[in-house]
Amino acid sequence: MNAITRSVLSHNFRSSCQYVVFRAFSSEAKNINFDDLVKGKPIVVFMKGTPVAPRCGFSNAVCQILKHHGVKDFTSYDVLSDDAVREGIKKYTNWPTIPQVFFNGEFVGGCDIMLDMHKNGDLIKELQKVGIRSALLDAKDNSDGKS
Amino acid sequence: MAVKFQHLISNIININRDFLYLSSANKHLIYKSFYATVKMGDEKPVENAIRTKLTEALKPEYIEVINESYMHNVPKGTESHFKVVIVSSAFENVKRIEKHQLVHKAIQEELDHSIHALSIVAKTPKEWEVSKEVGQSPACRGGAGL
């Protein structure tokens, strides 16, 4: 093993140790109340990136589905900007992946479930329950009117 | 035995070599695949473990485990992004979220240590009869190692 390899490997080792220490402290130091983050809001999405600039295909898909239904405003949290939120939300919902979607404080699921609900029409009903009229209903009414 | 050992060593060397060229964002993925390879000593340890554990836990009528890692910004051979298509009568009268949680539970170890992204299509045999459609996974938006 040459000197460069050794130094790179030891650097990797060092930085990974720092990462572990950082994570241990960051999740301990912050006691996040996830009830506060999700309750009292019609739609909350925990995602990677922001709705304007998603940084993961699955998070983007959730935003696109909501947009398709005419949902313009929803609360989103970027888990990449806060490691304590990223790890905490997984424990809160007992769900291992991001994105995670909440309607009226209730956990709905991730990207697969949103896509499923969109496909079989359940999403329109679920949006209605939280007081949002899906834009797809209006699109349907218009086309019905024309025919 | 010697051949197997040699294979293992060459795996480690390859991974170390890949490792040196990686951006810091991807490091933890490499750690994961590195340990998975060393632990199992076969070429698709995570994929095989997912298939075996889900088969044991849910007795599926149909199961497909697809490694979609190639669609993401990770080195060749990485086992990080998966899609699971599983049809089982264990999903009868089970809510959507709970179907997924049954899958999560069966492969908890892999989720904790190896898998970065998991897409699940979980259906009952009846639902599978109605539609055998399996949607395409969304394109990566660069966040693979984040």
Partners of B82 on chain A (C-beta within 8 Å) are none
Q: Any idea which fold A33-143 has?
A: Glutaredoxin (3.40.30)
Question: Residue B146 is encoded by which pair of tokens?
Answer: 């984040």
pTM: 0.75
Residue B140 has a pLDDT of 83
Tell the residue number behind the tokens 């790179």, with chain if given. A8
Residue B36 has a pLDDT of 53
The structural domain count of chain B equals 1
* Cβ-defined contact of A115 to B135 (cutoff 8 Å): yes
A137 vs B: CB within 8 A: no
Residue A20 has a pLDDT of 46
Question: Residue B32 is encoded by which pair of tokens?
Answer: 């994961």
Domain holding B55: CATH number? 3.30.300.90
| Residue B19 belongs to a domain | no
Partners of B24 on chain A (C-beta within 8 Å) are 15
Tell whether the model's pLDDT for residue B6 goes beyond 60: no
Residue from the list A19, A49, A116 with its beta carbon closest to the beta carbon of B96: A116
| Residue B56 belongs to a domain | yes
Amino acid at A32: I
- Peptide linkage before A99 cis (omega within 30 of 0): yes
Helix (H) or strand (E) holding A16, with range, is helix A3-29
Partners of A115 on chain B (C-beta within 8 Å) are 135
| Residue B2 belongs to a domain | no
What's the CA gap between B8 and B17, in Å, rounded? 14
This complex has an ipTM of 0.74
- At B30-85, the pLDDT tens digits run 555 555 555 555 789 999 999 999 999 999 999 999 999 999 888 999 999 999 99
- Nearest CA of chain A to the CA of B143: how many Å? 5
Residue B132 has a pLDDT of 87
A49 vs B: CB within 8 A: yes
Domain boundaries, chain A: 33-143
More confident residue, A59 or B17: A59
Helix (H, G, I), strand (E, B) or coil at A7: helix
| Residue B17 belongs to a domain | no
Tens place of pLDDT for every residue, chain A, 147 residues? 455 545 444 444 444 444 444 444 454 447 899 999 999 999 999 999 999 999 999 999 999 999 999 998 899 999 999 999 999 999 999 999 999 999 999 999 999 999 999 999 999 999 999 999 999 998 877 765 544
| Residue B126 belongs to a domain | yes
A99 vs B: CB within 8 A: no
Residue A24 has a pLDDT of 47
- What average pLDDT does the structure give for chain B? 82
Partners of B138 on chain A (C-beta within 8 Å) are 57-58, 60-61, 111
Give the domain extent around B89: 45-130
